[in-house]
Amino acid sequence: MCISTIRVIAVMLLGLFAKAEAPAVAQTRGSCDFYRDEVRSGNTIADNRLTSEWRIALRCIINILDGLKPAVEKNPKPEDWKQVVRATGAVRIIIANNETTGKEINPAVQLFRAETTLEATSTLSYAARSEDDGDARLNATLVLGNVIDNQHLCVPIDHLYDPKIGTKGRANLLAVVSVVAPWAYKENYEKIDALYQYMKEKLDPLGGQDDLKQTFAILDNIRQRLDFQQKPDSNKRTSIPKDLRACEHYAPIWAGDRLRYKF
């Protein structure tokens, strides 16, 4: 996934915006005080921190997003969303600074995927569906659209089963899920397909509502991207590799047994 994903997600969502720790993240604790202080205070992080030292910065920001989960999932305050905006803003800068050409995967995206946690992904998912802060919603959706992969896809899928999710948040997370559809492994392919069927049954009776036009367009995109996997060697016929099975230990909040992973 490259930085162009940001542009794809932004176009798809035009008009909508207004714990098991990874070892590297655990090891970063205690060495990220600078970044934690900057995110809390709102001070601008120096350019060199996000360029020559971007790997350290990214690991620390993952750590910060991981730690913000308890605040954003219960009763988030405006300051909590501001911290999410600052953290995700730094991630966006790091990804943009490491943009690649051709088929090469952005190294910042690779590092984020390798070292993020289910908790950090949850923070991003809560932010992407936030009805309180448009900046947090935008930033988190763009970051998720770049870094989401088979390993952590269960988190946004679970959020989409929440009956209280808003129209904007649902569209945002459906767009995020659509990113993985063309290369989803067997278990995730089945769960995306089940989510698609669930959403169609739930929303088709409301098809005349103007505020759902973008949602239906994204659902159609998910169907097309799932159907892209037609070749005999496509990922949908292969179980998720062992090193990408973080979702095996995820406890669904809303999806229940529809999001249980068995290998």
Per residue in 58-98, pLDDT tens?
A: 999 999 999 999 999 999 999 999 999 999 999 999 999 99
Beta-carbon count within 10 A of 207 CB: 11
- 183 and 115 in a single domain? The answer is no
- 26 and 82 in a single domain? The answer is yes
Per residue in 31-42, pLDDT tens?
A: 799 999 999 999
- 16 and 60 in a single domain? The answer is yes
Task: Provide the pLDDT for residue 16.
Answer: 46
Among the listed residues 132, 134, 135, the one whose alpha carbon sits nearest the alpha carbon of residue 77: 132
Among the listed residues 141, 236, 255, the one whose alpha carbon sits nearest the alpha carbon of residue 195: 255
Based on its alpha-carbon atoms, the radius of gyration of the chain, rounded to whole angstroms, reads 18
- 164 and 128 in a single domain? The answer is no
Using 50, 70 and 90 to split pLDDT, how confident is the model at 102? confident
Using 50, 70 and 90 to split pLDDT, how confident is the model at 9? low
> Of residues 103 and 226, which shows the higher confidence score?
226
The DSSP letter of residue 16 is T
> Of residues 8 and 214, which shows the higher confidence score?
214
- 170 and 105 in a single domain? The answer is no
- 136 and 156 in a single domain? The answer is no
Among the listed residues 208, 143, 218, the one whose alpha carbon sits nearest the alpha carbon of residue 181: 218
Predicted TM-score (pTM) of this structure: 0.88
Containing 226, the helix (H) or strand (E) segment is: helix 213-227
- Is the distance from CB of 187 to CB of 226 less than 8 angstroms? no
pLDDT of 4 over the 80 cut: no
Of the three residues 79, 112, 147, the one that is the final residue of a domain is: 147
Domain extent for 121:
1-147
Residues 6+ apart with CB under 8 A from 203: 212, 215, 216, 219
Among the listed residues 7, 8, 5, 12, the one whose alpha carbon sits nearest the alpha carbon of residue 213: 12
Q: What is the mean pLDDT of residues 151-177?
A: 98
Q: Number of structural domains, the chain?
A: 2
Q: What is the mean pLDDT of residues 24-34?
A: 63
- 113 and 90 in a single domain? The answer is yes
- 16 and 143 in a single domain? The answer is yes
- 34 and 112 in a single domain? The answer is yes
> Of residues 19 and 179, which shows the higher confidence score?
179
Task: Provide the pLDDT for residue 196.
Answer: 98
Per residue in 188-200, pLDDT tens?
A: 999 999 999 999 9
Of the three residues 114, 147, 180, the one that is the final residue of a domain is: 147
pLDDT over 90 for what percent of the chain? 85
Of the three residues 120, 147, 174, the one that is the final residue of a domain is: 147
Task: Provide the pLDDT for residue 1.
Answer: 45
- 155 and 189 in a single domain? The answer is yes
- 38 and 126 in a single domain? The answer is yes
Task: Provide the pLDDT for residue 260.
Answer: 92
Query: Cα dihedral sign for 227, 231, 236, 240?
Result: negative
Q: What span, in angstroms and rounded, lies between the C-alpha atoms of 59 and 82? A: 19
- 107 and 174 in a single domain? The answer is no
Task: Provide the pLDDT for residue 207.
Answer: 82
